[in-house]
Amino acid sequence: MTTDTLKLLGTTPLQWLANGLMSMLDKIQGINPQELIRSIAIPVIAFVLFLVIWGAAASQVDTSLGKVPGPAKVWEQTMVLVDEHNNERSREKRFYERQEKRNAKKLAADPDAIVKIRPYTGSPTFFDQIWTSLITVASSFLIASLFAIPIGIICGLSPILYKALNPLIQIFKPVSPLAWLPIVTIIVSAVYVSKDPIFSKSYLTSAITVTLCCIWPTIINTTVGVSNISKDLLNVSQVLRLGWWTKVFKIVIPSSIPMMFAGLRVSLGIGWMVLIAAEMLAQNPGLGKFVWDEFQNGSSNSLARIMVAVFAIGFVGFMLDRLMLMLQKKVSWDKSAVLR
Protein backbone atom coordinates (compact mmCIF):
# COMPACT_ATOMS: atom_id res chain seq x y z
CA MET A 1 0.00 0.00 0.00
CA THR A 2 1.61 3.23 -1.11
CA THR A 3 0.77 6.81 -0.27
CA ASP A 4 -0.49 7.22 -3.86
CA THR A 5 -3.29 4.76 -3.43
CA LEU A 6 -4.15 6.43 -0.18
CA LYS A 7 -4.33 9.78 -1.98
CA LEU A 8 -6.66 8.18 -4.50
CA LEU A 9 -8.83 7.01 -1.67
CA GLY A 10 -8.79 10.57 -0.40
CA THR A 11 -11.06 11.68 -3.23
CA THR A 12 -13.81 9.37 -2.00
CA PRO A 13 -15.88 9.80 1.14
CA LEU A 14 -13.14 7.85 2.88
CA GLN A 15 -11.08 10.99 3.15
CA TRP A 16 -10.98 11.01 6.90
CA LEU A 17 -9.87 7.40 6.99
CA ALA A 18 -7.17 8.02 4.42
CA ASN A 19 -5.93 11.06 6.30
CA GLY A 20 -5.67 9.00 9.44
CA LEU A 21 -3.84 6.26 7.62
CA MET A 22 -1.40 8.71 6.08
CA SER A 23 -0.50 10.18 9.43
CA MET A 24 -0.03 6.61 10.65
CA LEU A 25 2.18 5.91 7.65
CA ASP A 26 4.36 8.87 8.56
CA LYS A 27 4.90 7.36 11.95
CA ILE A 28 5.73 3.89 10.78
CA GLN A 29 7.90 4.61 7.76
CA GLY A 30 10.82 2.27 7.90
CA ILE A 31 8.89 -0.68 9.27
CA ASN A 32 9.17 -3.65 6.99
CA PRO A 33 6.70 -3.29 4.10
CA GLN A 34 5.12 -6.71 4.56
CA GLU A 35 4.24 -5.85 8.09
CA LEU A 36 2.80 -2.58 6.80
CA ILE A 37 0.58 -4.35 4.31
CA ARG A 38 -0.62 -6.76 6.91
CA SER A 39 -1.43 -4.14 9.50
CA ILE A 40 -2.99 -1.51 7.22
CA ALA A 41 -3.98 -2.90 3.85
CA ILE A 42 -5.94 -5.86 5.19
CA PRO A 43 -8.26 -3.83 7.45
CA VAL A 44 -8.71 -1.22 4.69
CA ILE A 45 -9.59 -3.84 2.09
CA ALA A 46 -12.03 -5.46 4.48
CA PHE A 47 -13.66 -2.11 5.18
CA VAL A 48 -13.98 -1.24 1.50
CA LEU A 49 -15.44 -4.68 0.83
CA PHE A 50 -17.96 -4.07 3.61
CA LEU A 51 -18.97 -0.75 2.04
CA VAL A 52 -19.42 -2.36 -1.38
CA ILE A 53 -21.58 -5.19 -0.03
CA TRP A 54 -23.59 -2.77 2.06
CA GLY A 55 -24.18 -0.47 -0.91
CA ALA A 56 -25.25 -3.33 -3.13
CA ALA A 57 -27.52 -4.94 -0.56
CA ALA A 58 -29.10 -1.66 0.59
CA SER A 59 -30.31 -0.66 -2.88
CA GLN A 60 -32.29 -3.93 -3.06
CA VAL A 61 -34.56 -3.08 -0.13
CA ASP A 62 -37.52 -0.71 -0.49
CA THR A 63 -39.05 0.69 2.68
CA SER A 64 -41.82 3.16 3.48
CA LEU A 65 -39.05 5.76 3.74
CA GLY A 66 -37.58 4.91 0.35
CA LYS A 67 -34.60 2.70 -0.35
CA VAL A 68 -32.35 1.67 2.51
CA PRO A 69 -29.48 4.18 2.36
CA GLY A 70 -26.08 3.08 1.14
CA PRO A 71 -22.68 4.39 2.27
CA ALA A 72 -22.85 7.48 0.03
CA LYS A 73 -26.20 8.58 1.44
CA VAL A 74 -25.01 8.05 4.99
CA TRP A 75 -21.87 10.07 4.30
CA GLU A 76 -24.00 12.85 2.83
CA GLN A 77 -26.16 12.92 5.95
CA THR A 78 -23.05 12.98 8.12
CA MET A 79 -22.04 16.15 6.33
CA VAL A 80 -25.55 17.55 6.73
CA LEU A 81 -25.37 16.89 10.45
CA VAL A 82 -21.98 18.61 10.63
CA ASP A 83 -23.42 21.61 8.78
CA GLU A 84 -26.44 21.73 11.03
CA HIS A 85 -24.11 21.74 14.00
CA ASN A 86 -22.00 24.57 12.60
CA ASN A 87 -25.08 26.61 11.68
CA GLU A 88 -26.54 26.17 15.11
CA ARG A 89 -23.26 27.26 16.70
CA SER A 90 -23.02 30.41 14.58
CA ARG A 91 -26.67 31.17 15.26
CA GLU A 92 -25.99 30.85 18.97
CA LYS A 93 -22.98 33.11 18.65
CA ARG A 94 -25.01 35.72 16.80
CA PHE A 95 -27.77 35.47 19.38
CA TYR A 96 -25.37 36.27 22.21
CA GLU A 97 -23.75 39.04 20.22
CA ARG A 98 -27.15 40.64 19.59
CA GLN A 99 -28.10 40.27 23.21
CA GLU A 100 -24.86 41.85 24.35
CA LYS A 101 -25.28 44.78 21.99
CA ARG A 102 -28.85 45.29 23.10
CA ASN A 103 -27.85 45.21 26.74
CA ALA A 104 -24.94 47.56 26.16
CA LYS A 105 -27.28 50.01 24.42
CA LYS A 106 -29.74 49.77 27.28
CA LEU A 107 -27.01 50.42 29.84
CA ALA A 108 -25.71 53.37 27.86
CA ALA A 109 -29.16 54.95 27.80
CA ASP A 110 -29.87 54.24 31.45
CA PRO A 111 -27.05 52.97 33.69
CA ASP A 112 -29.57 51.66 36.22
CA ALA A 113 -31.46 49.53 33.73
CA ILE A 114 -31.88 45.89 34.67
CA VAL A 115 -30.37 43.80 31.92
CA LYS A 116 -31.53 40.29 31.34
CA ILE A 117 -29.24 37.65 30.00
CA ARG A 118 -31.30 34.96 28.36
CA PRO A 119 -29.74 31.62 27.52
CA TYR A 120 -29.88 30.45 23.94
CA THR A 121 -32.60 27.88 23.47
CA GLY A 122 -31.85 26.33 20.10
CA SER A 123 -32.42 22.62 19.64
CA PRO A 124 -29.46 20.36 20.44
CA THR A 125 -27.52 19.17 17.40
CA PHE A 126 -26.29 15.65 16.76
CA PHE A 127 -22.93 16.46 18.32
CA ASP A 128 -24.58 18.04 21.35
CA GLN A 129 -26.48 14.78 21.75
CA ILE A 130 -23.26 12.76 21.62
CA TRP A 131 -21.78 15.00 24.29
CA THR A 132 -24.88 14.64 26.49
CA SER A 133 -24.75 10.88 26.14
CA LEU A 134 -21.07 10.87 27.08
CA ILE A 135 -21.78 12.88 30.23
CA THR A 136 -24.60 10.55 31.20
CA VAL A 137 -22.61 7.39 30.63
CA ALA A 138 -19.59 8.83 32.44
CA SER A 139 -21.62 9.72 35.51
CA SER A 140 -23.37 6.33 35.64
CA PHE A 141 -20.10 4.49 35.09
CA LEU A 142 -18.40 6.49 37.83
CA ILE A 143 -21.18 5.79 40.31
CA ALA A 144 -21.27 2.11 39.34
CA SER A 145 -17.49 1.82 39.80
CA LEU A 146 -17.55 3.59 43.14
CA PHE A 147 -19.88 0.89 44.40
CA ALA A 148 -18.62 -2.06 42.41
CA ILE A 149 -14.92 -1.93 43.27
CA PRO A 150 -15.32 -1.83 47.07
CA ILE A 151 -18.06 -4.48 46.92
CA GLY A 152 -15.85 -6.65 44.73
CA ILE A 153 -12.86 -6.26 47.06
CA ILE A 154 -14.91 -7.14 50.11
CA CYS A 155 -16.55 -10.13 48.39
CA GLY A 156 -13.15 -11.32 47.24
CA LEU A 157 -11.66 -11.09 50.72
CA SER A 158 -14.57 -12.58 52.64
CA PRO A 159 -15.90 -15.96 51.52
CA ILE A 160 -18.94 -15.48 53.75
CA LEU A 161 -19.95 -12.20 52.12
CA TYR A 162 -19.26 -13.74 48.75
CA LYS A 163 -21.65 -16.59 49.49
CA ALA A 164 -24.22 -14.11 50.71
CA LEU A 165 -24.04 -11.71 47.78
CA ASN A 166 -23.23 -14.02 44.89
CA PRO A 167 -26.82 -15.24 44.29
CA LEU A 168 -28.09 -11.65 44.22
CA ILE A 169 -25.37 -10.61 41.81
CA GLN A 170 -26.07 -13.55 39.54
CA ILE A 171 -29.80 -12.84 39.53
CA PHE A 172 -29.54 -9.13 38.78
CA LYS A 173 -26.70 -9.39 36.29
CA PRO A 174 -28.71 -10.59 33.27
CA VAL A 175 -31.64 -8.19 33.74
CA SER A 176 -32.27 -6.02 30.70
CA PRO A 177 -32.32 -2.22 31.05
CA LEU A 178 -35.82 -2.30 29.58
CA ALA A 179 -37.01 -4.13 32.68
CA TRP A 180 -35.30 -1.77 35.10
CA LEU A 181 -36.45 1.37 33.36
CA PRO A 182 -40.15 1.41 34.38
CA ILE A 183 -39.25 0.66 38.00
CA VAL A 184 -36.58 3.34 38.06
CA THR A 185 -38.87 5.85 36.33
CA ILE A 186 -41.63 5.39 38.89
CA ILE A 187 -39.28 5.44 41.88
CA VAL A 188 -37.51 8.54 40.60
CA SER A 189 -40.79 10.39 40.06
CA ALA A 190 -41.91 9.41 43.56
CA VAL A 191 -38.70 10.14 45.44
CA TYR A 192 -37.07 12.94 43.50
CA VAL A 193 -39.48 15.79 44.07
CA SER A 194 -37.83 19.16 44.05
CA LYS A 195 -39.00 22.61 43.03
CA ASP A 196 -35.63 23.49 41.62
CA PRO A 197 -34.17 20.22 40.41
CA ILE A 198 -30.43 20.10 39.60
CA PHE A 199 -30.92 17.09 37.37
CA SER A 200 -33.88 16.40 35.17
CA LYS A 201 -35.90 13.31 36.00
CA SER A 202 -35.19 11.75 32.64
CA TYR A 203 -31.46 12.17 33.21
CA LEU A 204 -31.67 10.50 36.62
CA THR A 205 -33.82 7.70 35.27
CA SER A 206 -31.49 6.84 32.43
CA ALA A 207 -28.33 7.29 34.54
CA ILE A 208 -29.63 5.03 37.30
CA THR A 209 -30.75 2.41 34.79
CA VAL A 210 -27.32 2.40 33.20
CA THR A 211 -25.70 2.12 36.64
CA LEU A 212 -27.89 -0.85 37.50
CA CYS A 213 -26.87 -2.62 34.31
CA CYS A 214 -23.16 -1.90 34.27
CA ILE A 215 -22.28 -2.45 37.91
CA TRP A 216 -22.17 -6.27 37.74
CA PRO A 217 -19.17 -7.08 35.54
CA THR A 218 -16.89 -4.92 37.69
CA ILE A 219 -18.15 -6.54 40.89
CA ILE A 220 -17.69 -10.05 39.52
CA ASN A 221 -14.29 -9.43 37.99
CA THR A 222 -12.96 -7.61 41.03
CA THR A 223 -14.17 -10.43 43.25
CA VAL A 224 -12.45 -13.04 41.10
CA GLY A 225 -9.28 -10.95 40.91
CA VAL A 226 -9.14 -10.43 44.65
CA SER A 227 -9.90 -14.03 45.54
CA ASN A 228 -7.14 -15.24 43.21
CA ILE A 229 -4.35 -13.28 44.88
CA SER A 230 -1.32 -15.50 45.28
CA LYS A 231 -1.33 -17.31 48.61
CA ASP A 232 2.33 -16.38 49.05
CA LEU A 233 1.57 -12.68 48.99
CA LEU A 234 -1.18 -13.14 51.55
CA ASN A 235 1.29 -15.10 53.70
CA VAL A 236 3.69 -12.19 53.43
CA SER A 237 0.95 -9.87 54.58
CA GLN A 238 0.26 -12.16 57.54
CA VAL A 239 3.91 -12.47 58.54
CA LEU A 240 4.27 -8.70 58.36
CA ARG A 241 1.00 -8.33 60.30
CA LEU A 242 -0.20 -5.74 57.82
CA GLY A 243 -3.33 -3.91 58.87
CA TRP A 244 -6.50 -4.34 56.81
CA TRP A 245 -6.12 -1.07 54.91
CA THR A 246 -2.41 -1.53 54.23
CA LYS A 247 -3.13 -5.02 52.99
CA VAL A 248 -5.87 -3.77 50.67
CA PHE A 249 -3.85 -0.90 49.26
CA LYS A 250 -0.41 -2.55 49.10
CA ILE A 251 -1.35 -6.08 48.11
CA VAL A 252 -5.00 -6.61 47.19
CA ILE A 253 -5.62 -3.71 44.82
CA PRO A 254 -2.33 -3.85 42.90
CA SER A 255 -2.58 -7.56 42.30
CA SER A 256 -6.20 -7.47 41.19
CA ILE A 257 -5.86 -4.46 38.90
CA PRO A 258 -5.79 -6.47 35.66
CA MET A 259 -9.02 -8.30 36.52
CA MET A 260 -10.58 -5.12 37.86
CA PHE A 261 -9.89 -3.34 34.59
CA ALA A 262 -11.21 -6.23 32.54
CA GLY A 263 -14.43 -5.77 34.51
CA LEU A 264 -14.43 -2.00 34.18
CA ARG A 265 -14.04 -2.26 30.43
CA VAL A 266 -16.94 -4.68 30.12
CA SER A 267 -18.98 -2.43 32.41
CA LEU A 268 -18.30 0.68 30.37
CA GLY A 269 -19.15 -1.20 27.16
CA ILE A 270 -22.43 -2.41 28.61
CA GLY A 271 -23.15 1.04 30.03
CA TRP A 272 -22.73 2.68 26.64
CA MET A 273 -24.90 0.03 24.97
CA VAL A 274 -27.63 0.28 27.59
CA LEU A 275 -27.57 4.08 27.61
CA ILE A 276 -28.95 4.31 24.08
CA ALA A 277 -31.97 2.20 25.01
CA ALA A 278 -32.47 4.07 28.27
CA GLU A 279 -32.35 7.47 26.55
CA MET A 280 -34.80 6.30 23.94
CA LEU A 281 -37.39 5.25 26.49
CA ALA A 282 -36.70 7.84 29.19
CA GLN A 283 -36.71 10.58 26.56
CA ASN A 284 -33.48 11.88 28.04
CA PRO A 285 -31.47 14.04 25.64
CA GLY A 286 -28.72 12.08 23.99
CA LEU A 287 -27.99 9.77 21.09
CA GLY A 288 -30.85 7.46 22.04
CA LYS A 289 -33.30 10.32 21.82
CA PHE A 290 -31.77 11.40 18.53
CA VAL A 291 -32.42 7.94 17.10
CA TRP A 292 -35.93 7.88 18.50
CA ASP A 293 -36.75 11.36 17.17
CA GLU A 294 -35.49 10.45 13.72
CA PHE A 295 -37.57 7.29 13.84
CA GLN A 296 -40.68 9.28 14.74
CA ASN A 297 -39.80 11.94 12.19
CA GLY A 298 -39.90 9.47 9.31
CA SER A 299 -38.45 11.69 6.61
CA SER A 300 -36.67 10.28 3.61
CA ASN A 301 -33.38 11.08 5.33
CA SER A 302 -34.26 9.50 8.65
CA LEU A 303 -32.79 6.08 7.99
CA ALA A 304 -29.50 7.54 6.82
CA ARG A 305 -29.34 9.81 9.86
CA ILE A 306 -30.01 6.87 12.17
CA MET A 307 -27.20 4.99 10.45
CA VAL A 308 -24.89 7.92 11.11
CA ALA A 309 -25.89 7.57 14.73
CA VAL A 310 -25.14 3.84 14.58
CA PHE A 311 -21.61 4.55 13.39
CA ALA A 312 -21.19 7.32 15.94
CA ILE A 313 -22.34 5.00 18.73
CA GLY A 314 -19.94 2.32 17.58
CA PHE A 315 -17.05 4.70 17.20
CA VAL A 316 -17.59 6.34 20.58
CA GLY A 317 -17.89 2.93 22.23
CA PHE A 318 -14.61 1.89 20.65
CA MET A 319 -12.94 5.10 21.81
CA LEU A 320 -14.24 4.62 25.35
CA ASP A 321 -12.67 1.17 25.42
CA ARG A 322 -9.36 2.57 24.16
CA LEU A 323 -9.56 5.21 26.86
CA MET A 324 -9.95 2.54 29.52
CA LEU A 325 -7.03 0.66 28.04
CA MET A 326 -4.88 3.78 28.23
CA LEU A 327 -5.93 4.28 31.82
CA GLN A 328 -5.12 0.66 32.60
CA LYS A 329 -1.67 1.04 31.08
CA LYS A 330 -1.16 4.08 33.23
CA VAL A 331 -2.09 2.48 36.54
CA SER A 332 -0.83 -1.03 35.83
CA TRP A 333 2.47 -1.86 37.53
CA ASP A 334 3.30 -4.51 34.96
CA LYS A 335 4.30 -2.38 31.97
CA SER A 336 5.40 -5.44 30.02
CA ALA A 337 1.97 -7.05 30.05
CA VAL A 338 0.31 -7.16 26.65
CA LEU A 339 -3.01 -5.38 26.92
CA ARG A 340 -5.59 -5.56 24.20
d(CA 322, CA 265): 9
Classify burial at 108, counting beta carbons within 10 Å of its beta carbon; exposed 0-12, middle 13-18, buried 19 or more. Answer: exposed
d(CA 179, CA 17): 39
DSSP 8-state class, residue 10: H
Report in angstroms how near the CB of residue 254 gets to another protein at its nearest. Answer: 4
Indicate the residue among 40 and 233 with the shorter CB distance to another protein. 233
Report in angstroms how near the CB of residue 323 gets to another protein at its nearest. Answer: 23
Residue 15 identity (one-letter amino acid): Q
First to last CA, the chain: 25
**Per-residue contact flags (x/-) with another protein for residues 195 to 224, judged by CB under 8 A:** ------------------------------
Report in angstroms how near the CB of residue 246 gets to another protein at its nearest. Answer: 8
For the chain, give percent helix, strand, coil, nearest 5: 80, 0, 20
> Is position 36 an interface residue for another protein (rule: CB under 8 A)?
no
Indicate the residue among 83 and 334 with the shorter CB distance to another protein. 334
> Is position 336 an interface residue for another protein (rule: CB under 8 A)?
yes
CA neighbor of 73 nearest in space, from 91, 87, 61, 90? 61
Indicate the residue among 29 and 336 with the shorter CB distance to another protein. 336
Please give the residues from 294 up to 333 whose contact with another protein meets the rule CB under 8 A. Answer: 333
Indicate the residue among 86 and 235 with the shorter CB distance to another protein. 235
Out of 83, 97, 100, 334, name the contact with another protein by CB under 8 A: 334
Report in angstroms how near the CB of residue 316 gets to another protein at its nearest. Answer: 32
Which residues face 62 on adjacent strands?
67
Query: How many residues form the binding site for another protein (CB under 8 A)?
Result: 18
Please give the residues from 223 up to 262 whose contact with another protein meets the rule CB under 8 A. Answer: 230, 232-233, 235-236, 238-242, 246, 250-251, 254-255
Taking a C-beta distance cutoff of 8 angstroms, is the pair 268, 144 a contact?
no
Indicate the residue among 160 and 239 with the shorter CB distance to another protein. 239
d(CA 6, CA 83): 26
d(CA 79, CA 16): 12
DSSP 8-state class, residue 252: I
Indicate the residue among 120 and 244 with the shorter CB distance to another protein. 244
Taking a C-beta distance cutoff of 8 angstroms, is the pair 207, 236 a contact?
no
Task: Taking the CA atoms of 333, 250, 215 and 290 in sequence, report the sign of the dihedral they define.
Answer: negative
Report in angstroms how near the CB of residue 237 gets to another protein at its nearest. Answer: 9
Report in angstroms how near the CB of residue 333 gets to another protein at its nearest. Answer: 3
Indicate the residue among 185 and 255 with the shorter CB distance to another protein. 255
CA neighbor of 291 nearest in space, from 130, 146, 154? 130
Report in angstroms how near the CB of residue 336 gets to another protein at its nearest. Answer: 7
Phi, psi of 7 (to 5 degrees): -65, -40
Report in angstroms how near the CB of residue 238 gets to another protein at its nearest. Answer: 4
Taking a C-beta distance cutoff of 8 angstroms, is the pair 206, 284 a contact?
yes
Indicate the residue among 60 and 333 with the shorter CB distance to another protein. 333
Chain contacts with another protein (rule: CB under 8 A): 230, 232-233, 235-236, 238-242, 246, 250-251, 254-255, 333-334, 336
